[in-house]
Amino acid sequence: MLFARGRYREAAGAFEAAIARAPSRLDASYNAAKALIHAKRWSLAVPHLVRARSLAPANEDVWFELRSLFLRLSRLEEAALDCARFEVVGA
Cα gap 46→50, rounded to integer Å: 6
Are 33 and 8 a contacting pair, CB within 8 Å? no
Q: What is the model's pTM?
A: 0.87
Q: What is the pLDDT of residue 45?
A: 98
Confidence of residue 89 (pLDDT cuts 50, 70, 90): low
**Closest C-alpha to 15, from 5, 3, 68, 4:** 3
Of the two residues 81 and 91, the one the predictor is more confident about is: 81
First and final CA of the chain: distance in angstroms? Answer: 37
Strands (E), 8-90: none
